[in-house]
Every structure is written in structure tokens, then in C-alpha cells.
Structure 1
Amino acid sequence: MSTLRPNFLIFVTDQQRADHLGCYGNTQVRTPHIDGIAARGTVFERCYVASPACMPNRAAIMTGRMPGAAGARMNGVPLPLDSRTFADALREAGWRTALIGKSHLQNMTDFQPSWRQGEAADRPQARRDDRDSPAYEQESVVRWRDPDHAVRLPYYGFDHAELCLEHGDEVGGAYDRWLHARCPEADTLRGPDHALPGGKTAAPQAWRTALPEDLYPSAFVRDRAIDWLEDHAARGGQPFLLACSFPDPHHPFTPPGRYWDMYRPEDIELPATCGPATPADTPLKRALHEELVAGRRSTAGSRVIAVTQDEARAAIALNYGAITCIDDMVGAILARLQALDLARDTVVLFLSDHGDFMGDHGLLFKGPLHYRSVIRMPLIWADPQAGAGGRRADLASAIDIGPTILARAGLAAPHGTQGRDLAPAAAPAAARASVLVEEEGHRPMPGSGLPKVRTLVTPDWRLSVHAFEEWGELYDLREDPDERVNRWDDPACAAVRAELTLELVRAMARHADECPLPTRMA
């Protein structure tokens, strides 16, 4: 196969911090196979999300466009089916395309659209939209209860799609059918009501699953990916794109078998900032910690919560177990790729959709405080034709992933693409000057309102503007990499704040949608 038409094998994890990998400096979690990808390629030290939530950032990765431009600005707003993804471009150019695992480009729940307080539910929207049609129910856990329900292909550019829905050991979709075909009594082995004894943990949303390792969702991704690779090798003739998307290490934390107690909470090194809030912290961070102290927090759902150090250690230990489980699955897939003589023509990527506080600043899960633990994502690129590995690169964005894949395939990115080809980024002179992050949410925060945040990250600073708040965030990343001291109101940083605010406005203007093209003027 010509190196101008390489294969692409993409590993995606869900809600994983970049520094929960050995190749990013973690000395506790064991990830030898993922570290091996890094040793053969380039590690992007500071790749940032376009949005720190699943749906909008996955949409940004697929389209190379910021969530607002892509039309999937937040969780609960699916990516329009007429979007052009990098998978579409590869498919149209002759690549076989497949997705095994989590997609989350459409809603997985059947919740109705939410309304702001005081607005009538029958109030028409400002634009007509067909995203309440059956075409946007393809990832619905309710629809998948129908044994005849199937994904309509191609699905956002994938000719083959086997979906995992939701998280933990209660994943639905194609996985659920695969599981029951192998174990008809599977429902008696999963969920907190069927958990194994001896699973006491301080971690919120965690139970010791009775599912064996080879029936767990991560094993489904491994087995079906290997089956697909074997089928592809038998057919031959075309390059391929295979995305292996794991539902873990997202909560609830249910790593199977030996992975449950592979790491002991008492051995876990906590983030340097794990602890209670201080008077100098943002009002939102203080309100989250006040919930914990007053016993008013809810540990259900995905909203950010404050946690104790014991809870953080327990959650990290289970998270590490899930990550090592994934690493073993990645190793098995890579071994089969090698055995099928496909590795020499295959570009391998490893990434996550976003991070998790995981104890950082005494918080857990994700939310609209853009600390690096949440907005920084792992990105590893290993091209067998690129020479020696072990390279390191600096600033990158989730919207750069698709354009980089297309450039390596020799294809032009569609008009309206906002990301850039990262291939030159190995040279420091070609590095980005800044990265834009968008976040919008439908879940009010304690002591605050609905999140609407815009963040600018440069090599030296992180500025976050909260649309409905008087307060903001400004951190000197060189002097204060742990983001402990908010310089927003510091008179000594007034000029920096003004300069970065102007650059944030410019970045938002640069990332405004340019589709469709206008008619020509006389």
C-alpha cells in the first residue's frame, strides 16, 4: 500500500485526563501499550478540547469545527446529520470506515428539550430543526430495546458502526446484543444490585461488577475491532479507518475482575491541589465545596462535585484500573494489527474526548471550571513512515485532529474547517499561539447560573470569561502551573487581562461559522 494512502487506527477513551498515562509522566498507572505508541510517535503535551463535554468535543473532533460552528454546542444537542466529517472525506476517497464502541454524536437519553426558568415549553424556537426526528434517535438507549433497531449507514461517515451506549457495566447498544449472545443471563451479572461482595469503596458511583473481564464493554471493543481487522485483511485492496472508542474510564467506576483492586487507594498520589476551597477561590468552586461540607451534594449524574481526599483516592484507583484494562485491550488490537501485516501502513492515534477533575482542586467529574485536568486531553500520533519516535509537541486543539488525518491521507479539508494540520507542529516555530475552548451547559451550577464559558489558553496564560458572572479566571501557567492563584482581579495583571481578553474576542471571531458560502456580489 502506498504511504500516501495509509490506514488510520484511532483509540478513543472517555473522560480521561492526559496525565493518567505513563507517557504523560504518571508513575503509578500502568499503560505500557499506549506508552509504546508514544515511543513510536509524537505526544502533544498540551492538546486542549474544543469543549470539555462529550458530545460537543466529539463533534469538534469529527468535523474540525468548534462546537458552536458545528451545531453541537453542548451535551443534548446532536451533531447535524448533514455535517461533513473526516470519516466522510476518507470514505468518499476510497477508505473503508468503521466505528466500534462509543459514538455519542447523538443523544443517548430520551429526555425532552430543557427550557430556561420562566420560558414556556410550547414556545417555538428561533429556527426550524429536524433534530427531534427518528434519524436523531439512533443512539437512544430506549430505541435499542427494540431488537430490530439498527444504525442507519453510513453513520457520520462510518460504513460500519457497532455502538456502545452509556458507561460502566450497564452499557447498551450493539454491545448489549453481543453480551447476551454470549451470556443470556448477563443481566444478573451487572449493575449495583448484582455487584460482587467485597467491593466497599469510598468512591462515588462505583461497584464491583460480576461481569467477567472478557464480557466487559472494553473487551467488546477489543474483540469486535480484531474481527473487523481480520475481515479487512481478508478483503484487502483498500485503506481503512477504524475507530475503537472505549466507554471507560468514565464513571460509574466498574473495572472488571483483577482490574478492580489492581491499585490500592492508600497508595494513590493525589493532585497537588486536592483539598478544600479557600476564600480566594472562585465563587463556583467555593459553592461546590460548601455543598460537600453541608451534606447537600448529589453524587448521582455527571455534574461536578466536591470530594474528600479519601473519595478522590478511591476514584483514582478505580480509574487507573479501568485505564490499565483499556491498555491491555489496545495491546491486543495492536498485536493483531501486526500479525495481519497491517502495522507498517497504519497511522495510530490515541486520544480522549476530555478530562476529569479526578481530585484536582478537590473536585470530581467535569464542569465549567476550566482547570487543565478537564480541558487538557491526551493526543498521541504514531506514523510508521515518520522516522524516529519519542517526539514532543506543544499547543494543539481537538479541532486539529481531523484536518491532520486528512492531510496525511493527501485529502483537502472541507470548506469551513477551522482546525489545522498538526504535522508541522513538531517544529516549535510552527506551534499554535493559542487555543479556544467553548462550554455551554443546561445544568445550573450551585451559587451560579447556566454555564456559558469561553477560554483562551496560551503557552503562558489561561483566561476564562463566564458570560453570566462578574468574576472570571486568569492564571499564570508558567509561574503557577497548578492554577492555584486566580489573577483576575490582580492590578498587576490588568494589562495582561486586557490583552488576553482582546485576543479571546479575536479568536471567537476567527471561529465564527463560514458555512454556507455567500452568493457572489456584482
Structure 2
Amino acid sequence: MPKIKNILFIMADQLRWDYLSCYGHPHLKTPNIDRLAERGVRFDRAYVQSPVCGPSRASFYTGRTVFSHGATWNMVPLPIGELTLGDYLRPNGVTTAVVGKTHMIPDREGMARLGLNGSTDIGCLVSQPGFDPYERDDGLHPDPLLRKKGGKLRYNDWLRSLGYEGENPWNDYANAGEGPDGEVLSGWYLKNSNLPARIREEHSETAYMTMRAREFISEMGDAPWLCHLSYIKPHWPYIAPAPYHDMYGPGSFSSAHRSQAERRDPNPVFEAFMKMEVSRTFSEQGTRETVLPAYMGLIKQIDDHLGRLFGWLEETGRSDDTMIVFTSDHGDYLGDHWLGEKELFHEESVRVPLIVCDPRKEADATRGTVSDAFVEAIDLVPTFMEATGARAASHRLEGRSLIPLLRGETPEDWRDSVFSEIDYAFYAARETLKLGPSDARGYMIRTDHWKYIHFKGFPPQLFNLGEDPDEFIDLGRSSGHEQIRQEMHNRLLERLLARKNRTTMTDDEVMEIRDRENESGIIIGRWQEPAAAE
């Protein structure tokens, strides 16, 4: 296949897979994302390596599972030796830039050990991680945190240039509403979610990031690029600008997906998460009804801006040589299963939308199709590498290229399960369970029929997805399912053992060393010198 010149890698933050019309939402219409699916392949069973922003994104960027790359939570740095998308694509002349969120922090200890700092070119790339930081913005800027960062935020500078006053317009305008007497009402409080943000729609974060992505693409001219357009929304603070704040009402909401049976004798880890404040709040009457208009409106806003961006790419001819990928870093419980946020392994949290549009004629046969192959976040790095002709790194990468699936081929050895994991040391649930920071771990393996979750030190969870697709009936302690649990546990162990830890030497180099063993002169265990050949 000819090489792909450009890649537009779009990620929405905390977007559930089932909150797009092409994935079946009955009321939330997303025609522009749907049109992308009509031009490419919609993957119906895509899963993240961890249902938390930082570790999930680190897996998207490295092609490696979470405990392989080591960035197990949002504030845990990606070790300096880990390679990311930019490291793989830059040698081929591809500028790899981020516009928006990565939720990654630099390995400052590792940088200091090597004498690096962010003011140098290499130090900047390592700290970003591996991206050219065209418009890096993680979208979390309440006043105390912004001051800790030195008060600098390009988006705030831009807002002030437009007349939004104050030290932190992000906090006071883009993510706040207004009370009846003009008082500022913070979007951090869920009760304010249904208010319109105090900012014009065209000045909101979604509009700004789309504008900056377009500016980056324009500046690149004819040079090859990967633009990671990483939207901050619909992640909290859940607050949308008018007119998106009240486009959806009670008639548009799906019912809460939960059962009283889940609260009867629950798995201890699940119970601890249900007891966290965010879960208790989302389980109360009125919370979902207040939050969902903003959540759905923010998704609609992203779709509208993508429509304009896609139209511009077509008008300028860039869509002819640009692969477009749309996905999310994880889902959002929104009160389902009596939970808020994400973190655990129900489909609402760990399953994401994934649409890939490959413009090459070799992908024509799959346009508008839906793939039910199991795919994972770690598959995108090898996909981008193969698409752009980058040198393979199978000794390091744990994902598989999706290019065969885009051509309508399904390799016989394609995976029959998906894997995810969580380090929940940073949550109140760990304290409830009285665990040490290194003991709060969970691992999921999901097949067509079963989902098995292993929690270190606690009983597992098991769901029969064929008979219980709602995941309401936990068979983790059922006496009649011991054999299934053992089989799934063995599958999980196999996946854990398949991680790639010999990252500094390729398989070919291993074979070459083995082949040269006799040439080295190092002889181990041989009785005598072989007889000379006549």
C-alpha cells in the first residue's frame, strides 16, 4: 500500500461509546462523526488499557499496556525511556504535534539524572511526552492549580485579548455559569451543570482547540504531520455554552443502567467504589437529570466543530491523503451501576468509540462497515507506524496494526479477548479497603461470552455476557462457576505474561546473537574441542 502522508488523531475526553448516534444513541445525533464512520470502519468492540485518563493515554501513545510503560495513574510520570508516537514517526519526517490534552506529566527525576530540562529541544519533547507541544492544554485549571503552574495558560491569554477579564477566565467564564444576581457559579459543582457557561460558544475550549488544530495543519503546508486533536470535553466540569446547554431534556435521556441486585452483597472493591462521594452523588435523584444536558450538549458541540473541520479538509484536498481517527480515552458511568466517574470495568467505562477512515483505495471495500473484532488502544501506534512506513518495533509494541482490518482482512490469529487494568491506589476506595498503595490493583479480561476481573486480595468478579449483557449479576463467588473462573484466570495470566519487557533489543538481534555464539570464543559446558574437519 502507498504510505499515508498525514494523520488526524482525534480524541474526546470521557466520551462513552454509546453516546454517538452511529453507536446507537436514540436521541443524541452526531451526523458529522456518523459521516466519518460512513467513510471508514466503525469498530464496535474497542477497549482502553485502563479506564483513567493518564494511563489510558499513555497506552494510546506508547502501544504498551499500563504496567509495562509504568504510568499507572494521572500523576505518575511516563518513564523517560519509554518511546511514544513522536519517537516512532519523527525519523520519517512526520511532525507529531498535540493540540489539547495529554494528561501526562514529565519524568523530571529521569530528566535531571540525564541533565535535561524543558528549555532544550530534547527536554521539551521528552516532557510532552514525545509530542511537539503546539497547543498543550490538559483542561484542568481551577485557581489554586493554575497558580501552582505559574499562572500561565495560552487559552487564558487569548480570552483576555477578547475582553474576558480576570486572572483565570478559564475558571470564571468557560467553566462557570451565572446566578440570578450576576454571581459566578462554578461548573465544578454538579448542581450548576445545566446553566449556560459565561462564554460565547465560539470562544469555548472546544471551539478554540478546533481553531488551533486548523492553524497547525495550515502551517504545515505540504510537510507530513500527525495532529493529535485532543478535546478537553465532555470531561467535567460538566458545563456547556449556549445554545448547547439546554438542547437535551428528560425525553432525550436514557434511563440509568443499574439494578438493586448490584447492591446486595457486592464485591468488596465494587462496594468501596459505590461508597465514594462521586458515586453517591450520581446515584441520587436529580443528579443525572442536571448533568446529562451538559454532557450531551458538549458532545453535540464537538460534532458540530468536527463537521466544519472535516469540510475544510475536503475543500483544501487534505482529506485525500489524511487518515482520520476518532476515539475516546475512556467512558463515564453517569450514575450507571450506582457509580460516578470511570475507573472500573463495566462497558460504560472501559469500552470506547473507535472510527478509522483510511483514504487509500485499498480500504475502499470496508467503507461504511462495522467491525466486531476485539481491538485495543495499544493498536493505534502500530497502525500509524505501518500507515506511514515507520520502522517496525514488534519487540516493544504490545498492540497490533489495524491495517489488515481496514483492508477487509481478519488475520486467523487475531485476538479473541481484550485486557484492561487499574491502579486504584489514589482513590478513597483503597482507604475504605485498608490497602497499601501497591496492593490496589485490578485486571480485566473479556471474551465474547465472559468478563472476568481479578482484584488483588479480594474475590474476583465474573459476568456471563451472553445471558447478562447488563453486567448486573456477579458470578465471582458462585459455586457453580469455579471452572469458568479458573479458565478465565488462566487467560488473564497468559495475557500478563505476554507483556513486552525486553524493549532495548529486537527479536532479530536476539537470533543474531544466538547464531554468533560459537564465534565469540566463549565456550560453556563443552567437553572437548571438536575434531578438525579433514
User: Normalized against structure 1, the TM-score is what?
Assistant: 0.83
Q: Is residue 464 of structure 1 aligned with residue 464 of structure 2?
A: no
Cα distance change, pair 95–419 in 1 and its aligned pair in 2 (3 A):
same
Measure the CA separation in 2 of the matches of 1:511 and 1:55: 19
Q: Which residue of 2 aligns with 1:152?
A: 124
In the alignment, is residue 435 of structure 1 matched against residue 418 of structure 2? yes
Question: Is 1:409 aligned to residue 391 of structure 2?
Answer: no
The yes-or-no answer on 1:328 pairing with 2:304 is yes
Instruction: Please give the alpha-carbon distance, in whole angstroms, between the structure 2 residues aligned to 1:179 and 1:3.
Output: 43
Q: Which moved more, 1:441-450 or 1:7-16?
A: 441-450
User: Identity of aligned pairs, percent?
Assistant: 28
Render the CA deviation track for 1:57-92: whole Å, top value 9, x for unaligned: 111111101111112122211113332222222221
Q: Which residue of 2 aligns with 1:182?
A: 162
SS of corresponding position for 1:15: coil
Change (3 A) 1:9 1:275: farther
* Cross-structure match for 2:277: 298
Structure 1, unmatched stretches of 5+, are 111-128, 144-149, 292-296
1:262 aligns with 2:262: no
Distance in 1, Cα, partners of 2:261 & 2:486: 30
Question: What amino acid does structure 1 have at the position aligned with 2:456?
Answer: A
**Correspondence for 2:370:** 392
Tell me the equivalent position of 1:354: 330
Partner AA of 2:476 in structure 1? W
Comparing 435-444 with 55-64, which one deviates more in the overlay? 435-444
Aligned 8 A contact 1:162 1:175 in 2? no
The aligned amino acid for 1:255 is A
Q: 1:423 aligns with which of 384, 396, 403?
A: 403
Contact 2:16/2:348 (8 A) holds in 1 = yes
Instruction: Spell out, residue by residue over 1:139-176, the C-alpha distance to the aligned partner (whole angstroms, 9 max, x if none).
Output: xxxx9xxxxxx992474333352111334898973323
> Could you tell me how far apart the structure 1 residues matched to 2:53 and 2:116 are?
17
- Displacement after TM superposition at 1:313 (Å): 3.0
Give, in angstroms, the shift of residue 211 of structure 1.
Answer: 1.5
CA distance in 1, matches of 2:300, 2:113: 39
In 1, the alpha carbon distance for the partners of 2:77 and 2:102 equals 11
Task: Tell me the CA shift for residue 480 of structure 1.
Answer: 1.2
Supply the distance in 2 between the matched residues of 1:6 and 1:176 (Cα, whole angstroms).
33
Inter-partner Cα distance in structure 2 for 1:250 and 1:191: 15
Write the distance in 2 (CA, Å) between the matches of 1:226 and 1:169.
27
Moved more, 352-361 or 99-108: 99-108
SS of equivalent to 2:419? strand
Distance in 2, matches of 1:137 and 1:479, equals 55
1:184 and 1:210, CA in 2 relative to 1: closer, same or farther beyond 3 A?
closer
**Distance 1:276-1:481 versus aligned 2 partners, 3 A rule:** closer
For residue 485 of structure 2, the aligned residue among 488, 497, 501 is 497
SS at match of 1:475: strand
Amino acid in the other structure paired with 2:486: A
How far 1:265 sits from its partner (Å)?
Answer: 3.8
Query: Residues 73 and 512 of structure 1: is their aligned pair in 2 closer, same or farther, counting only changes over 3 Å?
Result: farther
Q: Is the 8 A contact 2:48 2:351 kept in 1?
A: yes
Question: When the two structures are superposed, what TM-score results if normalisation uses the length of structure 2?
Answer: 0.81
Q: Does 1:239 align with 2:219?
A: no
- Work out the CA distance in 2 between the residues paired with 1:192 and 1:442: 32
Given the alignment of the two structures, is residue 375 of structure 1 paired with residue 355 of structure 2, yes or no?
no
Q: 1:228 maps to what in 2? A: 216
CA RMSD of aligned residues (A): 3.3
Name whichever of 182-191 and 447-456 sits farther off: 182-191
1:229/1:337 contact within 8 Å kept: no
Larger radius of gyration: 2
User: What is the rounded CA distance, in whole Å, between the counterparts of 2:243 and 2:42 in structure 1?
Assistant: 29
Could you tell me which amino acid in structure 1 is paired with residue 70 of structure 2?
A: G
Aligned equivalents of 1:223, 1:151: Cα separation in 2: 27
Quick one: which amino acid aligns to residue 442 of structure 1?
A
SS at match of 2:211: helix
Contact map agreement 1:263 1:321 (CA 8 A) in 2: yes
Q: 1:515 to 1:479 in 2, by over 3 A?
A: same
The 1:164/1:387 distance shift into structure 2, 3 A limit, reads same
1:314 is paired with a residue whose SS is helix
Per-residue CA deviations over 1:250-277 (Å, capped at 9, x if unaligned) read 1111111211111114541124326684
Query: What is the identity, as a one-letter code, of the residue corresponding to 2:352?
Result: M
What is the CA–CA distance in structure 2 between the aligned matches of 1:478 and 1:276, rounded to whole Å? 18
The 1-side partners of 2:85 and 2:299 are apart by 27
The Cα of 1:459 is off from its aligned counterpart by 1.6
Specify the alignment match of 2:88 in structure 1: 89
Residue in 1 that maps onto 2:532 = none
Of Structure 1 and Structure 2, the greater helix share is in 2
Question: Whole-Å Cα distance in 2 between the matches of residues 501 and 324 of structure 1?
Answer: 41
For residue 312 of structure 1, the aligned residue among 288, 291, 309 is: 288
